[in-house]
Amino acid sequence: MLAPITADLDKIAPRFEIQPEQIEILRTPSEFYETLKDKISRAQSRIYLSTLYIGKTEHDLISTIRASLQRNPNLRVSFLTDALRGTRETPNASCASLLAPLIAEFGSRVEVRMFHTPNLTGLRKRFVPKRINEGWGLQHMKLYGVDDEIIMSGANLSTDYFTNRQDRYHLFKDPRLAEYFSKIHAGVCDLSFDIQPADIPAGYTMSWPSSNPSPSPLASPSEFRKSASKHLSHLLTPSNSPTAVSDGSNTTIYPVMSLVPLLHTSTELPALTTILTSLAKPPFHPSTWTFTAGYFNMTPAFRRLLLATRPSSGTVLTAHPFANGFFGSKGVSGMLPDAYTHLSKMFLRKVKYAGLSDSIQLKEWQKGKINEEGGWTYHAKGLWVTLPSNGAGEKTDDPSLTVVGSSNYTKRSYELDLEANVIIATTDAGLKKRLGEEVKWLGEHANKVDESEFEKPDRKVSMSVKLSMWLVRVLGGAL
Protein backbone atom coordinates (compact mmCIF):
# COMPACT_ATOMS: atom_id res chain seq x y z
CA MET A 1 0.00 0.00 0.00
CA LEU A 2 2.83 2.44 0.77
CA ALA A 3 4.76 1.87 -2.45
CA PRO A 4 2.99 4.49 -4.65
CA ILE A 5 3.43 7.14 -1.96
CA THR A 6 7.10 6.38 -1.34
CA ALA A 7 7.71 6.30 -5.10
CA ASP A 8 6.44 9.88 -5.26
CA LEU A 9 8.47 10.92 -2.21
CA ASP A 10 11.59 9.44 -3.86
CA LYS A 11 11.29 12.24 -6.45
CA ILE A 12 11.15 14.97 -3.80
CA ALA A 13 13.54 14.20 -0.94
CA PRO A 14 16.50 11.98 -0.01
CA ARG A 15 15.58 8.40 0.92
CA PHE A 16 17.14 6.62 3.91
CA GLU A 17 16.33 2.95 4.42
CA ILE A 18 16.76 1.89 8.05
CA GLN A 19 15.70 -0.88 10.38
CA PRO A 20 12.72 -0.15 12.65
CA GLU A 21 14.73 -0.86 15.78
CA GLN A 22 16.96 2.10 14.85
CA ILE A 23 14.06 4.41 15.83
CA GLU A 24 13.29 5.05 19.48
CA ILE A 25 10.18 7.07 20.34
CA LEU A 26 10.58 9.02 23.57
CA ARG A 27 7.51 9.89 25.57
CA THR A 28 7.99 12.67 28.13
CA PRO A 29 9.95 15.93 28.44
CA SER A 30 12.06 14.46 31.23
CA GLU A 31 12.87 11.37 29.15
CA PHE A 32 13.90 13.64 26.28
CA TYR A 33 16.18 15.67 28.56
CA GLU A 34 17.79 12.71 30.28
CA THR A 35 18.36 10.97 26.93
CA LEU A 36 19.91 14.11 25.45
CA LYS A 37 22.24 14.56 28.42
CA ASP A 38 23.20 10.89 28.35
CA LYS A 39 24.12 11.10 24.67
CA ILE A 40 26.08 14.32 25.24
CA SER A 41 27.99 12.87 28.19
CA ARG A 42 29.17 9.96 26.03
CA ALA A 43 29.92 11.99 22.86
CA GLN A 44 33.12 11.05 21.05
CA SER A 45 33.53 13.38 18.08
CA ARG A 46 30.70 15.84 17.53
CA ILE A 47 27.65 17.48 19.03
CA TYR A 48 25.46 19.73 16.91
CA LEU A 49 22.39 21.40 18.36
CA SER A 50 20.01 23.40 16.15
CA THR A 51 17.23 25.03 18.14
CA LEU A 52 15.22 28.22 18.40
CA TYR A 53 16.92 29.07 21.67
CA ILE A 54 18.61 27.63 24.74
CA GLY A 55 17.13 28.89 27.99
CA LYS A 56 19.32 31.55 29.59
CA THR A 57 19.43 29.58 32.87
CA GLU A 58 20.14 26.10 31.45
CA HIS A 59 23.35 25.74 33.48
CA ASP A 60 22.81 22.00 33.99
CA LEU A 61 22.79 21.36 30.24
CA ILE A 62 25.82 23.59 29.71
CA SER A 63 27.65 21.82 32.54
CA THR A 64 26.97 18.47 30.85
CA ILE A 65 28.40 19.80 27.58
CA ARG A 66 31.41 21.36 29.35
CA ALA A 67 32.19 18.10 31.16
CA SER A 68 32.07 16.18 27.89
CA LEU A 69 34.43 18.69 26.25
CA GLN A 70 36.84 18.41 29.18
CA ARG A 71 36.82 14.62 29.03
CA ASN A 72 37.36 14.33 25.31
CA PRO A 73 39.85 16.68 23.59
CA ASN A 74 38.67 15.48 20.16
CA LEU A 75 35.08 16.58 20.73
CA ARG A 76 33.68 19.57 18.83
CA VAL A 77 30.38 21.29 19.60
CA SER A 78 28.30 23.51 17.32
CA PHE A 79 25.26 25.52 18.41
CA LEU A 80 22.77 27.09 16.00
CA THR A 81 19.98 29.26 17.40
CA ASP A 82 17.90 32.19 16.24
CA ALA A 83 19.49 35.64 16.52
CA LEU A 84 16.31 37.49 17.52
CA ARG A 85 15.32 34.98 20.20
CA GLY A 86 18.88 34.25 21.33
CA THR A 87 19.73 37.90 22.07
CA ARG A 88 16.30 39.24 23.07
CA GLU A 89 17.20 39.87 26.74
CA THR A 90 20.53 41.64 26.04
CA PRO A 91 22.24 43.29 27.94
CA ASN A 92 20.74 41.04 30.63
CA ALA A 93 21.43 37.30 30.66
CA SER A 94 20.56 35.69 27.33
CA CYS A 95 21.13 32.55 25.29
CA ALA A 96 24.16 34.23 23.70
CA SER A 97 25.73 35.19 27.04
CA LEU A 98 25.11 31.66 28.36
CA LEU A 99 27.02 30.04 25.49
CA ALA A 100 29.85 32.55 25.03
CA PRO A 101 31.93 31.30 28.02
CA LEU A 102 32.25 27.88 26.35
CA ILE A 103 34.12 29.56 23.50
CA ALA A 104 36.36 31.39 25.97
CA GLU A 105 37.19 28.06 27.63
CA PHE A 106 37.48 25.73 24.63
CA GLY A 107 38.30 28.04 21.73
CA SER A 108 37.64 26.81 18.20
CA ARG A 109 36.26 23.49 19.47
CA VAL A 110 33.01 25.36 20.21
CA GLU A 111 31.01 27.26 17.60
CA VAL A 112 27.98 29.46 18.33
CA ARG A 113 26.02 30.73 15.35
CA MET A 114 22.77 32.68 15.28
CA PHE A 115 20.59 32.92 12.18
CA HIS A 116 18.84 36.21 11.39
CA THR A 117 15.92 36.28 9.00
CA PRO A 118 16.29 38.51 5.91
CA ASN A 119 12.60 39.47 6.33
CA LEU A 120 13.11 41.80 9.30
CA THR A 121 15.38 44.69 8.35
CA GLY A 122 15.39 48.47 8.23
CA LEU A 123 12.43 50.36 9.69
CA ARG A 124 10.46 47.18 10.30
CA LYS A 125 13.24 45.76 12.49
CA ARG A 126 13.56 49.10 14.26
CA PHE A 127 9.92 49.50 15.22
CA VAL A 128 8.48 45.98 15.65
CA PRO A 129 8.56 45.16 19.42
CA LYS A 130 10.98 42.43 20.53
CA ARG A 131 8.20 40.31 22.00
CA ILE A 132 6.57 39.84 18.59
CA ASN A 133 9.41 40.35 16.09
CA GLU A 134 9.78 36.58 15.71
CA GLY A 135 6.56 36.70 13.67
CA TRP A 136 8.72 37.71 10.69
CA GLY A 137 10.84 34.58 10.63
CA LEU A 138 13.03 32.37 12.81
CA GLN A 139 15.59 29.60 12.86
CA HIS A 140 13.05 27.01 14.02
CA MET A 141 14.79 23.68 13.23
CA LYS A 142 15.25 21.26 16.14
CA LEU A 143 18.20 19.00 15.32
CA TYR A 144 19.94 17.36 18.28
CA GLY A 145 22.82 15.37 16.84
CA VAL A 146 25.48 13.51 18.84
CA ASP A 147 28.04 11.40 16.94
CA ASP A 148 26.01 8.96 14.78
CA GLU A 149 22.58 9.60 16.32
CA ILE A 150 20.04 12.40 16.10
CA ILE A 151 16.89 13.37 17.98
CA MET A 152 14.23 15.02 15.80
CA SER A 153 11.74 17.05 17.80
CA GLY A 154 9.70 20.20 18.05
CA ALA A 155 11.11 20.96 21.52
CA ASN A 156 13.52 23.76 22.30
CA LEU A 157 16.22 23.54 24.96
CA SER A 158 14.82 25.16 28.09
CA THR A 159 13.41 24.08 31.44
CA ASP A 160 9.75 23.91 30.42
CA TYR A 161 10.61 21.64 27.46
CA PHE A 162 12.49 19.40 29.90
CA THR A 163 9.75 19.27 32.54
CA ASN A 164 6.16 20.25 31.70
CA ARG A 165 5.80 21.05 28.00
CA GLN A 166 4.67 18.04 25.98
CA ASP A 167 6.24 17.54 22.56
CA ARG A 168 7.36 14.66 20.33
CA TYR A 169 10.88 13.18 20.31
CA HIS A 170 12.17 10.55 17.88
CA LEU A 171 15.72 9.24 18.30
CA PHE A 172 17.28 7.90 15.08
CA LYS A 173 20.32 5.66 15.51
CA ASP A 174 21.64 5.89 11.97
CA PRO A 175 25.03 7.42 11.05
CA ARG A 176 23.93 8.35 7.52
CA LEU A 177 20.94 10.33 8.75
CA ALA A 178 22.99 12.01 11.48
CA GLU A 179 25.62 12.97 8.88
CA TYR A 180 22.97 14.32 6.50
CA PHE A 181 21.47 16.62 9.11
CA SER A 182 24.94 17.71 10.25
CA LYS A 183 25.41 19.07 6.71
CA ILE A 184 22.09 20.94 6.94
CA HIS A 185 23.13 22.32 10.33
CA ALA A 186 26.56 23.37 9.06
CA GLY A 187 25.09 24.90 5.91
CA VAL A 188 22.82 27.20 7.91
CA CYS A 189 25.66 28.00 10.35
CA ASP A 190 27.63 29.29 7.35
CA LEU A 191 24.77 31.74 6.73
CA SER A 192 24.54 32.98 10.32
CA PHE A 193 26.11 35.50 12.67
CA ASP A 194 29.04 34.40 14.83
CA ILE A 195 29.03 34.83 18.60
CA GLN A 196 32.26 35.51 20.49
CA PRO A 197 32.86 36.17 24.20
CA ALA A 198 33.55 39.77 25.18
CA ASP A 199 34.26 41.71 28.37
CA ILE A 200 31.26 44.00 27.99
CA PRO A 201 27.89 44.08 29.82
CA ALA A 202 26.23 41.86 27.19
CA GLY A 203 28.98 39.24 27.60
CA TYR A 204 29.37 38.64 23.87
CA THR A 205 29.73 40.20 20.43
CA MET A 206 27.78 39.20 17.33
CA SER A 207 29.43 39.71 13.94
CA TRP A 208 29.17 38.57 10.33
CA PRO A 209 32.32 36.57 9.43
CA SER A 210 34.02 37.45 6.16
CA SER A 211 34.33 33.70 5.52
CA ASN A 212 30.53 33.36 5.18
CA PRO A 213 29.51 32.66 1.56
CA SER A 214 27.01 35.56 1.50
CA PRO A 215 26.61 39.15 2.66
CA SER A 216 24.73 39.79 5.89
CA PRO A 217 20.92 39.50 5.65
CA LEU A 218 20.73 42.92 7.33
CA ALA A 219 23.07 44.55 4.82
CA SER A 220 21.68 43.02 1.62
CA PRO A 221 18.66 40.71 2.02
CA SER A 222 18.32 39.98 -1.71
CA GLU A 223 22.00 39.09 -2.21
CA PHE A 224 21.89 37.04 0.99
CA ARG A 225 19.04 34.96 -0.42
CA LYS A 226 20.80 34.42 -3.75
CA SER A 227 24.00 33.24 -2.11
CA ALA A 228 22.10 31.09 0.41
CA SER A 229 20.22 29.31 -2.35
CA LYS A 230 23.48 28.37 -4.09
CA HIS A 231 24.96 27.22 -0.81
CA LEU A 232 22.09 25.06 0.45
CA SER A 233 19.70 23.98 -2.31
CA HIS A 234 21.76 20.96 -3.40
CA LEU A 235 21.41 19.41 0.05
CA LEU A 236 17.65 18.96 -0.29
CA THR A 237 17.57 16.92 -3.48
CA PRO A 238 17.03 13.14 -3.81
CA SER A 239 20.63 12.86 -5.03
CA ASN A 240 21.62 12.91 -1.34
CA SER A 241 20.07 9.46 -0.84
CA PRO A 242 22.64 6.96 0.45
CA THR A 243 23.07 3.54 -1.08
CA ALA A 244 20.14 1.27 -0.22
CA VAL A 245 20.80 -1.31 2.49
CA SER A 246 21.76 -4.65 1.00
CA ASP A 247 19.53 -6.77 3.24
CA GLY A 248 16.44 -4.71 2.48
CA SER A 249 14.31 -2.63 4.79
CA ASN A 250 10.64 -2.15 5.52
CA THR A 251 11.14 1.36 6.94
CA THR A 252 12.08 4.48 5.00
CA ILE A 253 12.97 7.95 6.26
CA TYR A 254 12.59 11.10 4.14
CA PRO A 255 14.11 14.34 5.52
CA VAL A 256 11.87 17.20 4.38
CA MET A 257 12.83 20.82 4.92
CA SER A 258 11.22 24.24 4.70
CA LEU A 259 13.94 26.81 4.14
CA VAL A 260 11.94 29.37 2.16
CA PRO A 261 13.70 32.45 3.62
CA LEU A 262 16.85 31.02 2.00
CA LEU A 263 15.65 28.99 -0.99
CA HIS A 264 13.09 29.43 -3.76
CA THR A 265 11.81 25.92 -3.15
CA SER A 266 11.64 23.59 -0.20
CA THR A 267 10.66 19.95 0.21
CA GLU A 268 8.29 19.84 3.20
CA LEU A 269 5.19 21.30 1.57
CA PRO A 270 5.57 19.37 -1.73
CA ALA A 271 6.01 16.13 0.24
CA LEU A 272 2.96 16.74 2.43
CA THR A 273 0.93 17.81 -0.60
CA THR A 274 1.86 14.52 -2.26
CA ILE A 275 0.78 12.50 0.78
CA LEU A 276 -2.53 14.31 1.32
CA THR A 277 -3.39 14.31 -2.37
CA SER A 278 -2.83 10.55 -2.43
CA LEU A 279 -5.13 10.09 0.56
CA ALA A 280 -7.98 11.70 -1.35
CA LYS A 281 -7.97 8.96 -4.02
CA PRO A 282 -8.22 5.16 -4.16
CA PRO A 283 -6.65 2.92 -3.01
CA PHE A 284 -5.73 5.20 -0.07
CA HIS A 285 -9.23 6.55 0.47
CA PRO A 286 -10.71 6.51 3.04
CA SER A 287 -7.77 6.65 5.41
CA THR A 288 -7.59 7.47 9.11
CA TRP A 289 -5.39 10.28 10.32
CA THR A 290 -4.46 12.35 13.37
CA PHE A 291 -3.01 15.83 12.93
CA THR A 292 -1.58 17.85 15.80
CA ALA A 293 -0.15 21.32 16.29
CA GLY A 294 0.22 23.12 19.60
CA TYR A 295 -0.14 26.43 17.78
CA PHE A 296 -3.08 25.64 15.51
CA ASN A 297 -3.02 27.85 12.43
CA MET A 298 -2.70 25.62 9.36
CA THR A 299 -2.60 27.46 6.05
CA PRO A 300 -5.83 27.56 3.98
CA ALA A 301 -4.14 25.40 1.32
CA PHE A 302 -3.09 22.79 3.89
CA ARG A 303 -6.57 22.79 5.42
CA ARG A 304 -8.16 22.22 2.01
CA LEU A 305 -5.81 19.29 1.35
CA LEU A 306 -6.58 17.78 4.76
CA LEU A 307 -10.35 18.09 4.37
CA ALA A 308 -10.21 16.80 0.79
CA THR A 309 -9.01 13.43 2.11
CA ARG A 310 -12.55 12.93 3.52
CA PRO A 311 -11.22 10.38 6.04
CA SER A 312 -13.12 7.56 7.63
CA SER A 313 -11.88 9.17 10.85
CA GLY A 314 -9.82 12.32 11.31
CA THR A 315 -8.69 13.93 14.57
CA VAL A 316 -7.15 17.36 14.99
CA LEU A 317 -5.39 17.73 18.33
CA THR A 318 -4.38 21.17 19.60
CA ALA A 319 -3.72 23.03 22.85
CA HIS A 320 -6.46 24.32 25.12
CA PRO A 321 -5.77 28.00 25.96
CA PHE A 322 -4.67 26.89 29.46
CA ALA A 323 -2.04 24.66 27.76
CA ASN A 324 -0.80 27.35 25.37
CA GLY A 325 2.71 28.57 26.15
CA PHE A 326 1.64 32.19 25.67
CA PHE A 327 -1.20 32.01 28.20
CA GLY A 328 -0.82 34.81 30.73
CA SER A 329 1.99 36.52 28.78
CA LYS A 330 2.31 40.27 28.99
CA GLY A 331 1.53 42.55 26.06
CA VAL A 332 0.51 41.50 22.57
CA SER A 333 1.76 37.90 22.95
CA GLY A 334 -0.83 37.39 25.68
CA MET A 335 -3.49 37.65 22.98
CA LEU A 336 -2.20 34.57 21.16
CA PRO A 337 -4.21 31.90 23.04
CA ASP A 338 -7.41 33.75 22.10
CA ALA A 339 -6.17 34.07 18.52
CA TYR A 340 -5.70 30.29 18.30
CA THR A 341 -9.17 29.81 19.83
CA HIS A 342 -10.60 31.94 17.02
CA LEU A 343 -8.74 29.85 14.43
CA SER A 344 -10.03 26.60 15.96
CA LYS A 345 -13.58 27.91 15.75
CA MET A 346 -13.09 28.85 12.09
CA PHE A 347 -11.70 25.37 11.38
CA LEU A 348 -14.78 23.67 12.79
CA ARG A 349 -16.94 25.92 10.61
CA LYS A 350 -15.00 24.76 7.55
CA VAL A 351 -15.43 21.11 8.63
CA LYS A 352 -19.17 21.65 9.00
CA TYR A 353 -19.42 23.43 5.66
CA ALA A 354 -17.62 20.48 3.98
CA GLY A 355 -20.12 18.05 5.50
CA LEU A 356 -17.42 16.29 7.52
CA SER A 357 -18.61 16.87 11.09
CA ASP A 358 -19.32 13.17 11.56
CA SER A 359 -15.84 12.07 10.55
CA ILE A 360 -13.49 14.89 11.64
CA GLN A 361 -13.24 15.98 15.27
CA LEU A 362 -11.28 18.67 17.10
CA LYS A 363 -9.74 17.87 20.47
CA GLU A 364 -8.08 20.24 22.93
CA TRP A 365 -5.21 19.07 25.12
CA GLN A 366 -5.15 20.21 28.73
CA LYS A 367 -3.19 19.02 31.74
CA GLY A 368 -3.85 21.43 34.58
CA LYS A 369 -3.38 25.13 33.93
CA ILE A 370 -0.11 26.73 32.97
CA ASN A 371 1.42 28.98 35.66
CA GLU A 372 -0.31 26.89 38.35
CA GLU A 373 1.01 23.87 40.26
CA GLY A 374 1.01 20.78 38.00
CA GLY A 375 0.10 22.75 34.87
CA TRP A 376 1.57 21.69 31.52
CA THR A 377 1.69 23.23 28.06
CA TYR A 378 1.29 21.41 24.73
CA HIS A 379 3.77 21.87 21.88
CA ALA A 380 3.55 18.64 19.87
CA LYS A 381 3.11 18.71 16.12
CA GLY A 382 2.84 16.17 13.34
CA LEU A 383 0.69 13.86 11.27
CA TRP A 384 -0.03 10.13 11.56
CA VAL A 385 -1.75 8.21 8.74
CA THR A 386 -3.34 4.77 8.85
CA LEU A 387 -4.09 3.42 5.39
CA PRO A 388 -7.19 1.34 4.62
CA SER A 389 -6.95 -2.45 4.53
CA ASN A 390 -5.30 -3.85 1.42
CA GLY A 391 -7.64 -6.84 1.40
CA ALA A 392 -5.01 -9.22 2.75
CA GLY A 393 -6.32 -9.14 6.30
CA GLU A 394 -3.69 -6.62 7.37
CA LYS A 395 -4.36 -4.92 10.70
CA THR A 396 -4.94 -1.24 10.01
CA ASP A 397 -5.44 0.29 13.45
CA ASP A 398 -1.87 1.61 13.66
CA PRO A 399 -0.22 4.29 11.50
CA SER A 400 2.19 3.28 8.76
CA LEU A 401 3.23 6.86 8.07
CA THR A 402 4.10 9.82 10.28
CA VAL A 403 5.69 13.26 10.01
CA VAL A 404 7.76 14.49 12.97
CA GLY A 405 9.85 17.61 13.41
CA SER A 406 9.69 21.34 14.00
CA SER A 407 6.97 22.48 11.59
CA ASN A 408 3.64 23.87 12.77
CA TYR A 409 2.19 23.69 9.21
CA THR A 410 1.47 27.44 9.21
CA LYS A 411 2.24 30.39 6.98
CA ARG A 412 5.30 30.98 9.14
CA SER A 413 6.45 27.41 8.56
CA TYR A 414 6.12 27.69 4.79
CA GLU A 415 7.10 31.30 4.15
CA LEU A 416 9.13 32.67 7.07
CA ASP A 417 10.83 30.06 9.31
CA LEU A 418 13.51 27.41 8.86
CA GLU A 419 11.98 23.98 9.53
CA ALA A 420 13.33 20.42 9.61
CA ASN A 421 11.21 17.27 9.67
CA VAL A 422 11.28 13.63 8.68
CA ILE A 423 8.61 11.44 7.15
CA ILE A 424 8.65 7.86 8.42
CA ALA A 425 7.01 5.27 6.16
CA THR A 426 6.92 1.70 7.46
CA THR A 427 5.22 -1.66 7.05
CA ASP A 428 6.84 -3.05 10.21
CA ALA A 429 4.13 -4.16 12.64
CA GLY A 430 6.23 -3.34 15.71
CA LEU A 431 7.04 0.22 14.65
CA LYS A 432 3.44 0.81 13.53
CA LYS A 433 2.30 -0.30 16.98
CA ARG A 434 4.72 2.13 18.64
CA LEU A 435 3.43 4.96 16.44
CA GLY A 436 -0.11 4.02 17.42
CA GLU A 437 0.88 4.13 21.09
CA GLU A 438 2.37 7.60 20.55
CA VAL A 439 -0.97 8.85 19.24
CA LYS A 440 -2.78 7.30 22.21
CA TRP A 441 -0.59 8.80 24.93
CA LEU A 442 -0.69 12.25 23.31
CA GLY A 443 -4.47 12.00 23.38
CA GLU A 444 -4.73 10.99 27.04
CA HIS A 445 -5.32 14.59 28.17
CA ALA A 446 -7.43 15.68 25.20
CA ASN A 447 -11.18 16.29 25.07
CA LYS A 448 -13.43 16.72 22.06
CA VAL A 449 -14.86 20.20 21.52
CA ASP A 450 -17.52 21.47 19.12
CA GLU A 451 -18.71 24.90 18.03
CA SER A 452 -20.81 25.34 21.17
CA GLU A 453 -17.59 25.39 23.25
CA PHE A 454 -16.54 28.62 21.57
CA GLU A 455 -19.84 30.33 22.35
CA LYS A 456 -19.19 30.18 26.10
CA PRO A 457 -18.46 33.58 27.66
CA ASP A 458 -14.92 32.64 28.71
CA ARG A 459 -14.08 31.48 25.16
CA LYS A 460 -15.36 34.56 23.34
CA VAL A 461 -12.65 36.30 21.31
CA SER A 462 -12.50 40.09 21.51
CA MET A 463 -12.43 42.41 18.53
CA SER A 464 -8.99 43.66 19.62
CA VAL A 465 -7.57 40.13 19.16
CA LYS A 466 -9.08 39.84 15.69
CA LEU A 467 -7.76 43.29 14.81
CA SER A 468 -4.26 42.38 16.03
CA MET A 469 -4.32 39.21 13.89
CA TRP A 470 -5.24 41.31 10.86
CA LEU A 471 -2.52 43.88 11.61
CA VAL A 472 0.23 41.24 11.84
CA ARG A 473 -0.83 39.86 8.43
CA VAL A 474 -0.87 43.37 6.88
CA LEU A 475 2.68 44.00 8.13
CA GLY A 476 3.91 40.75 6.55
CA GLY A 477 4.16 38.63 9.67
CA ALA A 478 2.37 35.49 10.82
CA LEU A 479 1.34 33.64 13.99
> Any idea which residues carry the catalytic annotation?
140, 142, 147
At residue 308, the 3 state secondary structure works out as helix
Whether the Cβ atoms of residue 205 and residue 164 lie closer than 8 Å to each other: no
The 3-state DSSP class for residue 114 equals strand
CA pseudo-torsion sign 313, 318, 323, 327: negative
Sign of the Cα pseudo-torsion (32, 387, 420, 234, in order): positive
318, HSE (Cβ side, Cα atoms, 13 Å): 22
Q: How many CA atoms lie within 13 A of 324 on its CB side?
A: 22
Q: Do 300 and 284 meet the contact criterion of CB atoms below 8 Å apart?
A: no
Pairing assessment for the beta strands 193-197 and 110-115 based on DSSP bridges: antiparallel
Nearest to 24 by CA among 117, 161, 153, 189: 153
Q: How far is Cα 424 from Cα 444, in angstroms, rounded to an integer?
A: 23
Q: Amino acid letter at 276? A: L
Q: Are 372 and 325 in contact (CB under 8 A)?
A: no
Q: In 10 A of CB 4, how many CB atoms? A: 13
Answer whether 49's CB lies under 8 Å from 61's CB. Answer: no
